[in-house]
Every structure is written in C-alpha cells, then in structure tokens.
Amino acid sequence: MKKAFITASALLTVGCTSSEIKNTEQEDFKWQIDRFDDIKVLRYRIPDFDSLSLSQKKLVYYLSQAALCGRDIYFDQNCKYNLPVRHTLEAVFTGYEGDRETPEFKAFEKYLKKVWFANGIHHHYSNEKFTPGFSEAYFKTLVAGTPALKGSEETVKTILPVIFDPELYKVRVTHDGSVDMIQASANNFYEGVTQEEAERFYASRFDPSDPEPVSHGLNSRLVKENGVLTEQVWKVGGMYSPAIEKIVHWLKKAAETAENPRQKATIETLIEYYETGDLKTFDKYNILWVEDLDSQVDFINGFIETYEDPLGYKASWESTVNFKNLEATKRTELLSRNAQWFEDHSPIDDKYKKKEVKGVSAKVITVAQLGGACYPATPIGINLPNADWIRKEYGSKSVTIQNITYAYAQAAQGDGFAEEFIFREMDRELAKQWGTLANDLSVDLHECLGHGSGQLAPGIKGDELKNYGSTLEEARADLFSLYYIGDPKLVELGVMPSLDVMKTEYNTYMFNGLMGQLTRIEPGKDIIEAHMRNRQLIARWCYEKGKAENVVEMFRQGGKSYVVVNDYEKLRALFGDLLREIQRIKSEGDFEAGRQLVEGYAVKVDPELHQEVLERYAKLDLAPYSGFVNPVLTPVEKNGEIVDIVVEYPDDYAEQMLYYSSEYGFL
C-alpha cells in the first residue's frame, strides 16, 4: 500500500531542472531499448556509483545478486502455472527450428515479452489475462518444432487452456466485493479455500489485546488439506526453499560486507527470518531496518507488499538495492524535520492528528538493482515497513527513487503528449520548467509525510475498509501531498522556488485523474487498480464539488476535450476538505462512507470521453506503461580478490530475461 507508481504525469515532465545527474555522456544514452504492445522498456543509469567505496560496491553487488534470486517466487505467486508457461515459451523461443520470420512467430515473441514483463500471464497493471495473438494450433506447431520440448507433453497439455481459454484464470487479483475474491483471483496465495474460510482463519488469529501483532499470513500460502486449513510457509526448508536458500547465500556475503554493526545485525536478522519463517523475527528485522539511518547503501528484500492479495494478508516477494543520493536527500530531510509542523497544520480533525510524529525518515535514493515485484515495472517511491504498530512506535523509512524518475523524464522528451492534451501554452511551459521537481516533491510528500500522518480512533484496527482500504489510503497520502505542495511553507523552507510548482502539480493531477490515465484502460472496462482509482476519486470529487464556482473546467474545442484549472486556491481548499473526510473515514473505520466515495467517483469511466482519449493517444503511438532492464554489475578480480565492481548498461531486453531465467531460475 505504500508505493507511488509512475503516472502519465511523467509524460509531461519534458524538462529537467532539478536533476543532479551531470554525466556528459547522457546526450547519447539510449533510454528506450524496446517497445511492444502497451509497454516500453527503458534503461536507468546508476550515477555516482564510482563515488562508493570498494566495500560499499561489494555490498551493492551481493545484495543485487540476492535481489535477482527471488524472481521465480514472484512468478509463482502470481499464478501457479506461470513458471511452466514461461519455461515452455522460453524453450520455443530459443529452440524452435521452423520459420521465425512469420507474423505468427512475431506474435508469439510479443506474447513472451509481455509474460516476462508482467512476471506471468496477467497484465502487471490491469491484472487481466493476456490474449495471445496466435492460435492454439500454431502454438502446437511451435512445440512440435522444438526438440527441447520432447517429453514435455504433459506440461504442454496442462498449460494450453491456461494460455488459450479466456475464462480460465481470467484475472490475477480482483477487488470486486460482490464475488468470492479468493476464488475469483488467479494468483497463488490460496488453494481450495473460500474467502469466508480465509477470513475466519485469520480473524481467529487476531488478538485485539496484543499491542505488537505480527502480520499473520504474510509469508505463506493457505491451503485446505483433507478438510484442514494449513499454511505452507515460504522459508528455507519450506515452500520456495531452493530460491530462498540462494537469497540467503548472498545475504550472508552482504552481512560480512555491511557498513556498520547495525546494518550487519539487520541483514543477519533477515537471514534468520528466511531460515525460520518466524513473523516475530520479521518484525524484529523491520525495527532494525527502519532504525538504520546511517548506512548509505540500503535494500528491500522479502515478502513486503500485500495489495496483490484481495484480503491483504499475503505479501509479494520484491527487492531493490540502492544507495543514498546525498545531495538530493537534503530536500527530504528538510521535510521530515518539519513533519510535526505539517501534522499540526493539516486540515484534518484535531482528534485524528498525531500528537507526536515519530521518525519519519526520508531520503532520495539511487537504485542499483530491481527484483521480484519491482522488476521490470518499478515504483518511484517506497515507504516501509507496513506494520502499523512498528510505524507508530519506530516510524517508517521513505524513499524517492530519483534516477528512475529521471530516466522516465528523459525517455518522454518531445513525445508530443503535452502538445496534444494540454490546452494552455502557459501550462505546457510550467510543466517543462517544473514538471520534474513537482513530480519528485509530490512523491516526497506522499511517501515521507502523507502515509505517516494521522491516527486511528481507539478500538479501530485499521482493516475495516476492506477492499476499499488501499484506494482510500493512497487517496489520503495523495491529498496530503496535494494540499501541502500548495503551501507557502515549502517556499519558505527552500524546497521549491515558488508556487508555480504547485500550479504544475495541480494541472497535471487534475488532467491525469480526469483524462490522462484513461489511456491505460481498455474500452468498456472499469478502473480497478488502487492508485488509479484514487486519482480519479480525487479529481472527479474536486471537479464536481468545484463546478458551481468553475474551479476546474472541462470543455471541448475542435472536437477535443481539455481540462483547465481556473482557481488554484479554491482547488487546494477542496483537496483539504476531501483529506479531512477520508482521514475521518480511515480513523473511524467508516466502511460505508468509504465504499460510497470509491464506488461513486473512482470506478466508472465516461465511455465517450474514454473513447476520445484513446483515439488521440493512439495517434501519438506512445506506450502507457514502462519498465526497466537492470544494469549489470560485474566484479573485477585480482588474485582471487574483488578489486572493483563495474557497471554496464545492456540494451537487449530479451537477452536479460533469458539470462535471468538461466542463471536465477531456481524453481
């Protein structure tokens, strides 16, 4: 629940004024290396890698190896047939002896590229199963023409309907409260279990008197065996053991290279957790991790985010390896040092304000490797840990990933998007000048202040909002960010030069929530993903509440619709009003009010506007989703000792995927 994914707003950041990247080679650097369907594959750079010490570089290297070892876990979590599907497709791709230049083979290739990108057969963002652009009969020809698949007839028979039957495993995860969400979700967190059984199973484990509850169900698959519910725990010796053993192997090397005793203890505790599966140990690890503020190199590695489980118990495996961008971190440190001021001046009800905001630590990071659920599609900001009581007692760590936002902005330069969709020339100019800073700042505010603000009423557990919880939580953090990016306090603090940055952000946000993000929805479909729902909720609610005073205007000219903000101060006040209401809903666990907000504003799409946006967007021939290949880190050895780690930027997407499958395919 704590990630900010890149939005179409990045497409508007056509300028680059706030970046620290000074590398002179960047002019020639090829940012985009592949394009298929609605996806473009980009590269990111690791600026300042050479400013790290040798020991830090080794640490980054070991942690990066650990980050790559969990790839198969995430494939399997997304659907239990993903690995056999991928293995079969890869065997065909590398070994088919027939004609590889036909349109059908190209369609097959595209399908495989999509499966790699999504870590499975469902779209990484819409969650819907891909429709192959080739027939079942053709696929059988491919299999027959691939010598390596001799003897795999049983596997092929099993996966045929998985790939080709559109009704089977239709969506990876559904948050549609009107059906049994577990039965209707294709992911692999539960087997033979109904939603009601799972809910009862975990409700019985919840002890309301425990002030330090573990995250029940986080690291296991729940199955029914002979009528009994059992958890298959993801640990060494348990489910996913072959991959987890490799992760542990590299973490042990990382622990030996840690920057300081606290970081060493942090990594060792993570190893202990992987070895035991004990969720108490996971909490202990999180506390050590959140309190490690001195190390420059940092990482995420484990079963972390739960939004791919409709019930919010099971966590997807993910990893990132990163190091602090010392210069840019001064900005977020200023914000977190003033966290109490922001809390005190927030427009929410006083009784839901934190009397004492603890340890909101924020930094800007340079990511050096992405793995699991963070690869190839990656968040641009992360705020962890997720356990509420740890956040309350020990605070949370919040990051903005600047080399990723920078790569997005570079790749989007001059793509024609702003010219097509932004009506006023002055708004396009603002975006050019302040787009990158507005984007970075809003992520900082969302992550390091937004999620951490506010408190629950006594007796409220925090899970009352159920399937609407993620959307409302993201809306709360976004509203906090929107409200404060319009506050003169930010100018006073020196993190932005003028309220023009606010104007840029408001223009972008309203356009994106009302129109821009529709480019990512297929015709006739509802909005499902939590971050997208949250953006439409905020934009539509404010548009409608401000209609009488024409705060935000939508109009058509020359057959094209546009969004224009007329009154920034009034819009800011509306953001404040909605923040107050959503905080109340969260604090009181008011499910019904939350349901009405989401169902009323966030889900349905105006079909005519949608059609128009898609047509205009199609003409630009852009891809709405992006992801990244990783840089390759290679140790340089001399007399058996590592003397340096060198970075290379590969430019072949399929090659990296095949390499990962062969070198890190442990399941």
Q: Which residues 6+ apart lie within 8 Å of 662 measured at CB?
A: none
Hey, what amino acid is at 379? Answer: P
State how far the Cα of 284 lies from the Cα of 235, in Å rounded to an integer. Answer: 17
Cβ-proximal residue to Zn ion, closest one: 477
Span of 42-50, 67-75, 343-351, 466-474 interacting with Zn ion by CB under 5 A: 466-474
Query: Exposed, middle or buried by CB within 10 Å (0-12, 13-18, 19+), for 546?
Result: buried
Span of 157-165, 468-476, 517-525, 631-639 interacting with Zn ion by CB under 5 A: 468-476
Q: How far is the CB of 544 from Zn ion (least distance, A)?
A: 24
State how far the Cα of 37 lies from the Cα of 110, in Å rounded to an integer. Answer: 8
Q: How far is the CB of 382 from Zn ion (least distance, A)?
A: 9
Q: How far is the CB of 651 from Zn ion (least distance, A)?
A: 32
User: Side-chain half-sphere of 173: how many Cα atoms within 13 Å?
Assistant: 24
Among residues 34 and 305, whose Cβ is nearest to Zn ion? Answer: 305
Span of 112-120, 306-314, 364-372, 467-475 interacting with Zn ion by CB under 5 A: 467-475
Q: How far is the CB of 416 from Zn ion (least distance, A)?
A: 30
Among residues 65 and 467, whose Cβ is nearest to Zn ion? Answer: 467
Residues 67-106 interacting with Zn ion (rule: CB under 5 A) = none
475 binds Zn ion (CB under 5 A): no
DSSP line for 491-502? HHHTSSSSTHHH
Among residues 121 and 399, whose Cβ is nearest to Zn ion? Answer: 399
Q: How far is the CB of 5 from Zn ion (least distance, A)?
A: 9
With CB under 5 A as the contact rule, the residue among 477, 495, 563, 657 that binds Zn ion is: 477
Among residues 2 and 86, whose Cβ is nearest to Zn ion? Answer: 2
Residues 582-641 interacting with Zn ion (rule: CB under 5 A) = none
Sign, Cα dihedral of 417, 528, 72, 255: positive
Q: For residues 155-175, b (16+ Cβ closer than 10 Å) or e, as one string? A: bbeebeebbeeeeebebbbbb
Peptide linkage before 376 cis (omega within 30 of 0): yes
What is the arrangement of strands in the sheet containing 228-233, beginning at the earlier edge strand? 190-191, 220-225, 228-233
Q: How far is the CB of 385 from Zn ion (least distance, A)?
A: 14
Span of 117-125, 135-143, 473-481, 578-586 interacting with Zn ion by CB under 5 A: 473-481
Degrees, nearest 5: CA angle 295-257-642: 125
Contact 566, 537 (CB under 8 A): no
Among residues 69 and 477, whose Cβ is nearest to Zn ion? Answer: 477
Residues in the interface with Zn ion (CB under 5 A) total 2
Among residues 440 and 474, whose Cβ is nearest to Zn ion? Answer: 474
CA distances from residue 214 to 210, 231, 390 in whole angstroms, order as listed: 9, 15, 10
Span of 316-324, 477-485, 592-600, 639-647 interacting with Zn ion by CB under 5 A: 477-485
Q: How far is the CB of 645 from Zn ion (least distance, A)?
A: 32
Among residues 384 and 477, whose Cβ is nearest to Zn ion? Answer: 477
Q: How far is the CB of 398 from Zn ion (least distance, A)?
A: 10
Among residues 269 and 386, whose Cβ is nearest to Zn ion? Answer: 386
Q: β-strands 220-225, 228-233: how paired?
A: antiparallel
Contact 556, 612 (CB under 8 A): no
Among residues 247 and 582, whose Cβ is nearest to Zn ion? Answer: 582
State how far the Cα of 217 lies from the Cα of 231, in Å rounded to an integer. Answer: 8
Binding site residues, Zn ion, CB under 5 A: 474, 477
